[in-house]
Structure 1
Amino acid sequence: MRLRPSRRPSGPVHPVDEVLPPGRLAVYGLQHVLAFYAGAVVVPILLANAIGLGERELIHLINADLFTCGIASIIQSVGFWKVGVRLPLLQGVTFTAVSPMIAIGMAAGGGTEGLTTIYGAVIVAGLVTFFAAPYFARLLRFFPPVVTGTVITVIGLALLPVAATDAVGGANAPDPGNPLYLALALGTLTVIVLIQRIFRGFMATVAVLAGLVIGTLASVPFGLVDLGGVGESGWVGVTTPFHFGWPQFSLAAIVSMVVVMMITAVETTGDVFATGEIVRKRVGGRDVARALRADGLATTLGGVLNSFPYTCFAENVGLVRLTRVSSRWVVAAAGVFMILIGLVPKAGALVAAVPHPVLGGAALAMFATVAVVGIQTLSRVDFTDHRNVVVVGSGLGVALFVTVQPDVAQAMPQWAQAFAGSGITAGSITAIALNLLFFHVRRRPRISPDRERVDLATVNGMDRAAFATMLGRIFEGPTEVPARVHARGPFADGAALRSALQEELFAAPQGEQRDLMAHYPDLGGVVGTEGAAEDRVPADRDEPVDGPARRDRAGLALLDGDGRTELAEVAGAYRERFGFPLIVCLRDAGGRDGLLEAGRRRLTHPPAQEHAAALVEIAKVAGHRFDDIVG
């Protein structure tokens, strides 16, 4: 009897969860390792040179880094309990931590003594990240597509100079005028592009690996492939906990490293959303919390095993997009390879023999692809709203400014240099801050003047009937969800109450869910005849979810005649196929083009998926109304 992977009732296994044959897993995993390797060893090299470590210490740091990277990648991709996002995300040491770690190490006297102080701060920062993960995930409403798209684009653009530096010979010996370096870099890029263009199936998915191998072979006649390190390295090198001594704990160092982890949490959030876009898997707050817990656990483990803070590696996000291989088990296979490389220094030396120009040519393709994912996310943003233009433009501008002129951080106070020393960090913080300023600071409540927001203490003090009546306003029709939520009170904070409402909505019997869906306005009526939606909304609602203000905000008022007709046709076809209206939270619809695209795409989904999608849209609408009602 042949064993098959378990399947959900709604359909086959998602490509993310597909277990590929062992041969393909090995090849795809090796491709991830080769694409990742150069970035993996940069941090220990920079740190060792800066704080005065010797060659033997550097070799141990590299082995420990690769070994821990493998474990961290398996934790993130495979996952257990509430740890690991279970997406094809590979973990690596964050570049954001380089400058703060150098500062910590030098302040502690440099050498191995400085290293032990760094590890003390890394361990504590990892624990803080692990336990703070769910609270950070609750802030996702401050990360709409205008922010996540900007952050993802910034990540891709800010990493391109790293690829360019490799393409001209590497940071240690750059030679931009060398025609051989240029030929190897562009030749590797050309091979990747041609394979993607000419071949289909398996060959197309290993284009980056093929480019790296062909580029390396082409470099041999020119003496750029040095295999001397392979002969000098040992066969086995095991990293032991606290190899350099017991960690030392400094309050200033710990605070600095916690700040670094807060910054990398933003980068991880961007990478998680980018990967979710690529593999077409919905990402939510719980996913981000699981990813951040994995970051925190891996960082703590790094401090114990002589490594450094970990985050999702954007380099491999680009590789997932380029190869279109979505299986998270490929990253798990890459993790196994990295563990083996970390245990076998000779294998690491062999991988390190790939010339910098060849790595740079491959990285140009991968990093640019990350930026494209960001642009794709930004395509859902309504740029008729000038505030969105300012958020995106300023975020990109600041990111490129710091990337091109990294020494500008020296003009900032010491405490601010951790924020201003990285283009990714500076651009991301700028986008987040401007989004808060324009869309969340001093916003007027979206309810009628004669209604006041209710504080949580008042909500907790309500009896069942008053509670159900008050919170029943966040839904479009009658439902027992608020009454069931009342039995779970009192609630510690607004987030707990919101979560309870969402959990009860999704746990409700299917018949009750369908009855609730039927009370929501038909989007075809909204765009087909003015006022149709308002007629469908009960008179006691504060503001119709699809009324004039919502249509203007979503860009529906700017639809031409053809656009309105098409959307009405899509909505009609949707109701005919699924038996309930096309429900869309217009505040999050992403403008008129995004609305049309989403409607057409949702028509192709199976009924079970659309039942879930409609509940998600109802939850979004309820979330916005909840913010209007509960203070």
Structure 2
Amino acid sequence: MKVSKKKAPQPGRAAVHPVDEVLPAGRLAVYGMQHVLAFYAGAVIVPILLANSIGLSTDQLVHLINADLFTCGIASIIQSVGFWKVGVRLPLLQGVTFTAVSPMIAIGLAAGGGTDGLLVIYGAVIVAGLATFFIAPFFSRLIRFFPPVVTGSVITIIGIALLPVAAADATGGAGPTSDPTSGRNMAYALGTLALIVVIQRVFKGFMATVAVLVGLVVGTLVAWALGDAHFGAVSDSGWVGVTTPFHFGWPQFSFAAIVSMIVVMLITAVETTGDVFATGEIVEKRVGREDIARALRADGLATTLGGTLNSFPYTCFAENVGLVRLTQVKSRWVVATAGLIMVLLGLLPKAGAIVAGIPHPVLGGAALAMFATVAVVGFQTLTKVDFHDHRNVVIVATSVGLAMYVTAQPQVSQAVPDWAEIIFGSGITLGSLTAIVLNIVFHHVGKDFGPAVAGMPGDTIRLDQVNEMGRAEFVETFAGLFQGPRWMVERAWDQRPFADTHALRRAFQEALFSGSPEEQRELIEAYPELGSRLVSEGIVGEESLRDQSSRGLTHLAEPDQEALTSLTDAYRERFGFPLVISVRDASSLDRILAEGRERLGNCERQEHAAALIEIAKIAGHRFDDFLREANPIHSARTRTPWSSQR
């Protein structure tokens, strides 16, 4: 049989990170078009909303759309490819921020609407873009105010807040075209979503990565065959349409408009920071302060170009963050290719008209999957948060709750003064700012006591007290996590200070596995036999009684007791130490007996290691008991298994 040989990497040549991998041209084109199709509706909605609100003509709207696509392409290339200190060089596609819609409409109407209002908007956009570019390095220094509790909340909020946009498309699009009662719209949306899911489940490799593209194309073809997709605009569009700088005239500068737009860009910087962290999580690339600065410089430069080329403020598009997560295609050159395609679409109105022919319900079905995956990235980030610290529960709950408040009831923004509409007009903005402010209030203002980690309600031991304990007090407090020897607890004390309960938990685990074979053997031999009288009578400690009584081993019927005793005797005779099993992880006595009999066939070294792992699990459950007694309200809601920290 012929065995294929992989080419060994050349010595001294570093492996290429998936983000920097240059894929074959064909795949770049296909993946890039998938990004464009997924992004298109979100890209053109801002100029459509603005044009309708300030009274622009249809011809002016067409030019705005072409200019938007053209500048989106340039902005995406800047962000993904990068140069000098501009561009984060991650697969992040740029689009016009929704945060700017309400302020731009307000600025345009205040200036008289029409072209006059548009020129004042462009003046404010240009200055705000320059301001963002120059403050980027200063904003990036605030990265310490974006721990996982903030970034996870922001990413989750972005994903959840975008779902109503997808739902609106699924019902036929926002506005008069929407028909939530239409079974046909539902069929297109759910059919597209189902096709994407089926492709992801059935196929692997290339087909799985283009599931969204296939869903959009097939959904559009079906709609066209049934007469629900129309491409009449293609024949009415020109072949070439070049956007020129200051097409509508020289920009006008208003101080109030500029201040308003700078505030918008500061809020957008928070969203961009969240998107960069989300993408870093997805592509498994560490994001640092300089990366945030690069991303924000790209936002600023793209926004300045937008004001010059008849477009608007730019930010990273969360829609396409979800697509990267869904397809697992991590190359930034795919996004660069998507940027090039958008530049061409901006120059070829006919090509843009074809893409515009995708029916809203088809696009909405695909968007449901993509936007939800952004929220999933947020959930993954939140798993790093210590929720035994009730302050973090408050931060996440409050920020997500307020974000959903204004997302579900957008008209509440009319109840606040005009200056506050920028904040209350967007769930993403309000939720993100809430998470940031609450994190500062709870974690950076005043003394940080840390979460309660042990003790009884009303008499708890908090993390700051643990960090100040002497060795003897620390050992006495946590000795019950293990049986017999205390060297593990003593070595865990050496790892102070502990940042959170996760760090304290890890310290015990690392100390356990750092012991010598002789120390570990002594520890294993200290654990009582399963179902023994010493346990049931509480002679070997309350912890062992609690462990074994959880599965009824302290009051077994005679046949069951004989079967368990026979097993433990055989095990000790075979290996010379007791059978250690974390019984709280076993579903029944039958499962405990089956596991023990299976382990009788192992060698002594393997069983030594297995016993240590079981001891780690037992200690984990006992640590959870400590936390449960110290945090009874939180413990009723959630539980963190020891195994999740391994």
Range class of TM-score, shorter chain? 0.7 to 0.9
Report the 3-state secondary structure (helix = DSSP H, G, I; strand = E; otherwise coil) of the residue aligned with 2:243: coil
Partner of 1:67: 70
Report the 3-state secondary structure (helix = DSSP H, G, I; strand = E; otherwise coil) of the residue aligned with 1:531: helix
Report the 3-state secondary structure (helix = DSSP H, G, I; strand = E; otherwise coil) of the residue aligned with 2:315: strand
Partner of 2:330: 326
Q: Is the 8 A contact 1:567 1:596 kept in 2?
A: no
State the Cα distance separating 1:184 from its structure 2 match.
Answer: 0.4
Distance 1:84 1:592, change over 3 A: farther
State the Cα distance separating 1:221 from its structure 2 match.
Answer: 2.8
Report the 3-state secondary structure (helix = DSSP H, G, I; strand = E; otherwise coil) of the residue aligned with 1:92: strand
Give the counterpart of 1:531 among 490, 497, 519: 490
Q: Is the 8 A contact 2:488 2:515 kept in 1?
A: no
Question: Equivalent residues in 2 for 1:105-124 (5 A)?
Answer: 105-124=108-127
Q: Is the 8 A contact 2:489 2:508 kept in 1?
A: no
Partner of 1:466: none
State the Cα distance separating 1:308 from its structure 2 match.
Answer: 0.1
Q: Is the 8 A contact 1:528 1:565 kept in 2?
A: no
Q: Is the 8 A contact 1:234 1:346 kept in 2?
A: yes
The amino acid of 1:132's aligned partner reads: I
Identity of aligned residues (%): 70
1:335 matched to 2:339: yes
Partner of 2:513: 569
1:162 matched to 2:165: yes
State the Cα distance separating 1:569 from its structure 2 match.
Answer: 2.8
Question: Equivalent residues in 2 for 1:15-26 (5 A)?
Answer: 15-26=18-29
Q: Is the 8 A contact 2:234 2:351 kept in 1?
A: yes
Report the 3-state secondary structure (helix = DSSP H, G, I; strand = E; otherwise coil) of the residue aligned with 2:340: helix
Distance 1:594 1:47, change over 3 A: farther
Distance 1:62 1:594, change over 3 A: farther
Give the counterpart of 1:554 among 501, 506, 509: 501
Distance 1:107 1:212, change over 3 A: same
Distance 1:567 1:241, change over 3 A: farther
Separation of aligned partners in 2, 1:259 and 1:122: 11
Distance 1:339 1:416, change over 3 A: same
The amino acid of 2:143's aligned partner reads: L
- For residues 325-365 of structure 1, the C-alpha deviation after alignment (integer angstroms, 9 at most, x for no partner) is 00000000000000000000000000000000000000000
Partner of 2:142: 139
Separation of aligned partners in 2, 1:323 and 1:254: 39
Separation of aligned partners in 1, 2:32 and 2:145: 35
Give the counterpart of 2:189 among 157, 171, 185: 185
Q: Is the 8 A contact 1:188 1:361 kept in 2?
A: yes
Partner of 2:547: none
Partner of 1:451: none
Q: Tell me how many residue pairs correspond in the alignment.
A: 483
The amino acid of 1:13's aligned partner reads: V
State the Cα distance separating 1:413 from its structure 2 match.
Answer: 1.3
State the Cα distance separating 1:555 from its structure 2 match.
Answer: 3.6
Separation of aligned partners in 2, 1:397 and 1:8: 53
Distance 1:339 1:7, change over 3 A: farther
Partner of 2:429: 425
Partner of 1:492: none
1:383 matched to 2:387: yes
State the Cα distance separating 1:95 from its structure 2 match.
Answer: 0.2
Separation of aligned partners in 2, 1:88 and 1:594: 34
Separation of aligned partners in 1, 2:104 and 2:516: 59
Partner of 2:611: none
Partner of 1:541: none
Report the 3-state secondary structure (helix = DSSP H, G, I; strand = E; otherwise coil) of the residue aligned with 2:95: strand
1:275 matched to 2:279: yes
Q: Is the 8 A contact 2:492 2:511 kept in 1?
A: no
Partner of 1:249: 253
Partner of 1:91: 94
Distance 1:572 1:89, change over 3 A: farther
Q: Is the 8 A contact 1:265 1:292 kept in 2?
A: yes
Partner of 1:13: 16
Report the 3-state secondary structure (helix = DSSP H, G, I; strand = E; otherwise coil) of the residue aligned with 2:208: helix
Question: Equivalent residues in 2 for 1:293-442 (5 A)?
Answer: 293-442=297-446
Separation of aligned partners in 1, 2:186 and 2:343: 33
Distance 1:184 1:570, change over 3 A: farther
- For residues 358-377 of structure 1, the C-alpha deviation after alignment (integer angstroms, 9 at most, x for no partner) is 00000000000000000000
Question: Equivalent residues in 2 for 1:464-613 (5 A)?
Answer: 529-532=488-491, 546-547=495-496, 550=498, 553-557=500-504, 564-565=508-509, 568-569=512-513
Separation of aligned partners in 1, 2:10 and 2:74: 27
Distance 1:246 1:145, change over 3 A: same
- For residues 553-579 of structure 1, the C-alpha deviation after alignment (integer angstroms, 9 at most, x for no partner) is 2345567xxx94477438999xxxxxx
Normalised to the residue count of structure 1, the TM-score between the two structures is 0.74
Give the counterpart of 2:105 among 79, 102, 107: 102
State the Cα distance separating 1:531 from its structure 2 match.
Answer: 3.3
Separation of aligned partners in 1, 2:291 and 2:10: 20
Q: Is the 8 A contact 2:239 2:349 kept in 1?
A: yes
Separation of aligned partners in 2, 1:89 and 1:198: 28
Distance 1:412 1:49, change over 3 A: same
Partner of 2:36: 33
State the Cα distance separating 1:220 from its structure 2 match.
Answer: 1.4
Distance 1:227 1:570, change over 3 A: farther
Q: Is the 8 A contact 2:193 2:368 kept in 1?
A: yes
1:289 matched to 2:327: no
Q: Is the 8 A contact 1:380 1:593 kept in 2?
A: no
Q: Is the 8 A contact 1:380 1:594 kept in 2?
A: no
State the Cα distance separating 1:592 from its structure 2 match.
Answer: 11
Q: Is the 8 A contact 1:100 1:257 kept in 2?
A: yes
- Unaligned 5+ segments in structure 2 are 1-6, 451-485, 518-637
The amino acid of 2:16's aligned partner reads: V
Separation of aligned partners in 2, 1:106 and 1:349: 29
Separation of aligned partners in 2, 1:558 and 1:437: 26
Q: Is the 8 A contact 2:488 2:512 kept in 1?
A: no
Q: Is the 8 A contact 2:231 2:357 kept in 1?
A: yes
Give the counterpart of 1:55 among 54, 58, 61: 58
Partner of 1:455: none
Cα RMSD of the aligned pairs, angstroms, is 2.4
State the Cα distance separating 1:241 from its structure 2 match.
Answer: 0.1
Distance 1:224 1:123, change over 3 A: same
The amino acid of 2:400's aligned partner reads: L
Report the 3-state secondary structure (helix = DSSP H, G, I; strand = E; otherwise coil) of the residue aligned with 1:398: helix
1:232 matched to 2:191: no
State the Cα distance separating 1:90 from its structure 2 match.
Answer: 0.1
- Unaligned 5+ segments in structure 1 are 447-526, 536-545, 574-590, 601-631
- For residues 220-261 of structure 1, the C-alpha deviation after alignment (integer angstroms, 9 at most, x for no partner) is 133211111000000000000000000000000000000000
Q: Is the 8 A contact 2:55 2:114 kept in 1?
A: yes
Distance 1:176 1:206, change over 3 A: same
Q: Is the 8 A contact 2:54 2:113 kept in 1?
A: yes
Separation of aligned partners in 2, 1:412 and 1:77: 38
Give the counterpart of 2:209 among 197, 205, 212: 205
Distance 1:592 1:20, change over 3 A: farther
Distance 1:557 1:20, change over 3 A: closer
Separation of aligned partners in 2, 1:348 and 1:399: 34
| Structure possessing the higher radius of gyration over alpha carbons | 2
Q: Is the 8 A contact 1:67 1:338 kept in 2?
A: yes
Partner of 1:518: none
Separation of aligned partners in 1, 2:405 and 2:511: 42
